[in-house]
Each structure stands twice: as structure tokens, then as C-alpha cells.
Structure 1
Amino acid sequence: MAFSCATGKHRRPGRVKQATTRTVGVAALTTTGVIGTLAAPALAADTSDGQAGLTLALSIGDSVAEQIDAQAAAQRQAAQDAAAREAREEAEAQAEKLAAERAEKEREAERERAAREAERKRLNARVAPIAGSYVSTGYKAGGSVWSSGSHTGVDFHAASGTAVQSVGAGTVVEAGWGGSYGYQIVIEMTDGTYTQYGHLSSIGVSVGQAVLPGQQIALSGATGNVTGAHLHFEVRMTAEYGSDIDPVAYLRAHGVNV
């Protein structure tokens, strides 16, 4: 036989049960953050036996809210710390990049300075006009064979066909027949002086051509006013005849051992 209840209204729950129910409701509403708007009307009808439960529910709600606030504050602080750390790391990386770029520019500038200095030294370098030769007739040697009464240059011993090289960097200003000098080449050097190469058997450069130290420009010979094959080498302060200086002293002043 089925269990049944008496007809009519069910019995009203006791006061303790009502208070407990309301307390649970308050605790639940506290976690949602709406206790201030919903709990008060529901509890207004009963302020006797349920007061202790309400106080407990409010205390629990305050504690949970404080925990939530603390957690939110910690999260905000962590986010701020992370952003500050990221900004600091980015600034440090940018500073390192700029320092590396600056160092590379300084290295590049130093390489350019070194290259310019090496080029300057190369252009200012001097070599002997004939490698491995020696002076056979000195500067200002006297005799009737020279129209001025003395030798205006020096003679380097050289068999006909020996390679003749520019003693330094400069520009060819004469290349051809030079009367008593035979076939000759005159080069204006980068320092403004002029070097002359005479009695050549062959010329390998032309007027206006730039030459470098040690560059072959001709072959020695016995053209012009000579008694045998050799190279006449002369240094002048200007292009004019009579402005000659000691060629050996000139070469030695530039580090050439002759």
C-alpha cells in the first residue's frame, strides 16, 4: 500500500530551519557579490533566531571578498611587474643593439682610416728605378760630355732592355724623344717633384697616365747622347731644366737603399 500524507497544507518549517536556509542563501549570494542588494529584504522578516547565522554569513562573505580583492591586487601587481620587466628588457636589448651598431661603425671608420693610411703610404712610397742596380755615375760629376758642365742626375747600371720602373706614384707629363736624353719619360710625382728617366729603348706609358710605385714604365737602352746602355735618372723640383736635386738623397729620404 502506497505511503500517503494527510490532505491540506503541509506544515510550515520551523524557525531554526528557516534561519539555516536563509544563512545558506546569504553565503551563496556572498560569493556572487550581490549580498548587499538581495540579502537584506530576505532577512528583514526575521531578526531573532537567525541573527547569529546572518552574522556568520556576513563574516564569511567579507572574508571571501577580501580574498578576491587581494587576489585581484596580486594579479594587477604581477601584470605591472611583468610589463615593467618586459619594458626593461626591451630597453636593455635596444641599448645593446645601439652599442653594437656604434661599435661596428667605429670599427668601420677605423678600417677606413687604416685603408686611407695604407693608401697614403703606398702612394708616398719610393723604390729604385731599376731593381738590384747601382749608381755608375754620380750626381754633379764633371766633364765635357754634359752641356751644363756637370751631371744633373745619376746613371744606374743597366743592360739594354732592363725593366725601368716608376720610383713613386704620379702622372706622366712627357713620354717621347728628349734630344740628348734620347727617349725619355718625365713623371710629376704626388709630392710635386718631377722624375726623369732617359736613354730608353722602349716606352710603355703615355702622357696623362697615372702610375704607381714600382710600375714598369719602360726598358733601358742607349738612345740619345750616351757612350753605352744605362738609365739616366734625374729629380727636379720643377719641370724646368736647372731645378735638379740629388736623386740619391731624394730616394734615401724616402727609405730607398741606394
Structure 2
Amino acid sequence: MAFTRATGKHRAPNRLTRRSAQVAGIAALATAGVIGATASPALAADSAATVETVGLTQVTAIGSSLAAQIEAQAQAQQHQADLAAKAKAEAEAKAKAEAKRKAEARAEETRKAEARAARAAERARLNSFRLPVAGSYVTTAYKSGGSLWSSGSHSGVDFRAASGSSVVAVGAGTVVEAGWGGAYGNNIVLRMTDGTYTQYGHLSSIGVQVGRRVSSGQQIGLSGSTGNSTGPHLHFEARTTPRYGSDMDPVAYLRSHGVRL
């Protein structure tokens, strides 16, 4: 049998048509799961070209670059935060150390001030003067005349004091005489810290020894009526030397040292 073909021009499929067919075939093979194993080199090359044409490689590259930038920025921000935290911690530690130093300095200054005040108080106590018999008063004045005194006048003053009354040092000093003093009976002589001397006569008992240091107000003996005396009292003298005859006004002496009488 003879075959005839319709009249007209018949052309072979062009390249675009063949490419479309190839793509369709590749898609079908990919669906079947066999493209990776059975595709020819030419088909694999065509597939790669198709992926590049879509732009997936470019998108992936851009995404990786952006992630790296974000990561770098995050690391930089964390580094700055760490530096700020470290600086803050160092500043706080420095502030605490400075506060501690100042507190210690204030405490030391307070301690020194208290020590100075204590020393001043002790000096004031040592340098303070008081009556030889607490609450007493003068019964016989200085330079009073009469036959009771060999010199014709009183070389000191007499303070009222019942027998056995406490007799104290009028100020701080050192004992230079303690014992029997003739007309003075039992007597004590002190060298005061200012270089003057004080005497305490007619005592019933003596409570200190020569060379002993005494403080202001410290008991040194008890009043009595020993020696040339007409009754219990305390004979008190202020002198420029430890010897008889160097006497000065005892009332003026005590008043010059702040004693009221």
C-alpha cells in the first residue's frame, strides 16, 4: 500500500521545543526518583543550568552573608555589654574601696580626737586644785598674830576638820616629807608640779611615803591634833621651798589655781 502525506511543509521540532520536552522529561524522571542515577551528563548540565536560571544559588549566598553580618553585630554588641559591665563593676569596687578608706580615716580621726580629749582631761585633772578637806572652810587666817606661834604670826591657814577627816593633796605632786614635824606634829610636804610646795600639819595618821607621786584629790592622811595644837584641825601652808619660812598666802595660792573658798 502506498502512503501519501498531506500537502504542505513539515518541519522538525525547533530547539525550544526540544528543550521544553527535555525539561518535561527531567521533571518526570525526578518525580520517579531516578534523575540522579540515570540522567545523562547532558541532562544533568541542563538541570544545573535551569537552577541557576531560577536564582537559588544567589539567594543562598545573600542569606549566608546577612546571617554572618547579624552574628558579627551580635558579638560586637555583647562585647560592648561585657566591657560596660566590667567598667561598672570596677567603678563600684573603687567606690566601695574609697568609702571604706574614708570610713577608716574618720574612725582613726575620731580615735585620735578621743585620745586627745582623754589626755586633755587627764592633764586638767592633774593640774586641777581643790580644798585639802572637802567642804571645809578657813577658821584661822594667814598671818594671824598671837602667842600660839613661835614667829608671832600664823604661817598658814587652819581648815575646820574633825579628827579622822580625809586630807587630800590639793594638786598633783611628789611627797618630799612625811613624818614628825615638831610643832606641826605629823606632817606631809608635797612638791607640786608647778614647782611650789604645800604642807599639811597636825595629822592623826600619814598615808604616803617620801618619793611617792600623788594626784589631785588623792587622800594622803587623816586630820588630827598632833604637835602644837589646841584641837583637831588641818594646818595648811603654801611655800616657795620645802622649808619653814618660805610661806605665801595659802588662800591666794588656792584661788590662783581655781579653788573657790
Give the 3 Å change call, closer, same or farther, for CA 160–17 of structure 1 in structure 2: same
Q: Distance in 2 between matches of 1:16 and 1:220?
A: 138
Deviation at 1:185, TM superposition (A): 0.5
Match of 1:113 in 2: 116
Q: Computing the radius of gyration over CA atoms, which structure comes out larger, 1 or 2?
A: 2
Question: Partners in 1 of 2:68 and 2:49 — Cα distance?
Answer: 23
Q: When the two structures are aligned, how many residues end up with a matched partner? A: 226
Q: Paired residue for 1:195?
A: 198
Q: Render the CA deviation track for 1:159-188: whole Å, top value 9, x for unaligned.
A: 322221211222211110112211101112
Do structure 1's residue 177 and structure 2's residue 205 form an aligned pair? no
CA 197–57 in structure 1, closer or farther in 2 if over 3 Å, else same: same
Q: CA deviation at 1:20?
A: 8.7
Following TM superposition, by how much is the alpha carbon of 1:18 offset from its aligned partner in structure 2, in angstroms? 3.8
Is 1:223 matched with 2:226? yes
Query: The residue matched to 2:154 in structure 1 has which SS?
Result: coil
Q: Does residue 151 of structure 1 match 2:179?
A: no
Instruction: Name the aligned partner's letter for residue 185 of structure 1.
Output: I
Which amino acid counterpart does residue 129 of structure 1 have in structure 2?
P
Could you report, residue by residue, the CA deviation over 1:176-226 in whole angstroms, capped at 9, with x for unpaired residues? Answer: 011221110111222222110001111111112222222221111222222
1:155 is displaced (CA, Å) by: 0.7
Mapping of residues 67-146 of structure 1, within 5 Å: 67-146=70-149
State yes or no: 1:167 paired with 2:167: no
How far 1:68 moved relative to its partner? 0.9
Q: Secondary structure in 1 aligned to 2:151?
A: coil
Partner AA of 2:220 in structure 1: I
Cα offset for 1:15? 5.6
Structure 1, unpaired ranges of 5+: 22-47
Amino acid at match of 1:256: V
Letter in 2 for 1:215: Q
Name the residue aligned to 2:207: 204
> For the Cα contact (< 8 Å) 1:19–1:53, is it kept in 2?
no
Q: Give the gaps of 5 or more residues in structure 2.
A: 1-31
Report the CA distance shift for 1:59/1:183 in structure 2 as closer, same or farther (over 3 A). same
Distance 1:20-1:250 versus aligned 2 partners, 3 A rule: farther
* Distance in structure 2 (CA, Å) of the matches to 1:209 and 1:16: 125
- Corresponding residue number in structure 1 for 2:25: none
Equivalence for 1:243: 246
SS in 1 for 2:130: coil
Structure 1 runs, 4 residues or longer, greater than 3 Å off: 12-21
Structure 2-normalised TM-score?
0.79
Shift of the 49–245 alpha-carbon distance from structure 1 to 2, 3 Å rule, reads same
Report the TM-score when normalising by structure 1. 0.79
Closer, same or farther in 2 for the Cα pair 1:99/1:224, shift >3 Å?
Answer: same
Of residues 49, 53, 60 in structure 1, which corresponds to 2:53?
49
Residue identity opposite 1:135 in structure 2: V
Distance 2:176 2:200 in 1: 12
Q: Go from structure 1 to structure 2 and tell me whether the alpha carbon gap of 1:247 and 1:19 turns closer, same or farther (over 3 Å shift).
A: farther
Over 3 Å counting, the alpha-carbon distance change for 1:59 and 1:16 in structure 2 is: farther
The Cα of 1:11 is off from its aligned counterpart by: 2.1
Separation in structure 2 between the aligned mates of residue 18 and residue 208 of structure 1, nearest angstrom: 122
Q: CA RMSD in A?
A: 2.4
Whichever residue aligns with residue 179 of structure 1, its letter is G
SS in 2 for 1:208: coil
Q: 2:7 matched to which residue of 1?
A: none
Q: Percent identity?
A: 54
How much has 1:5 moved relative to structure 2? 9.7
Return the letter of the residue paired with 1:58.
A
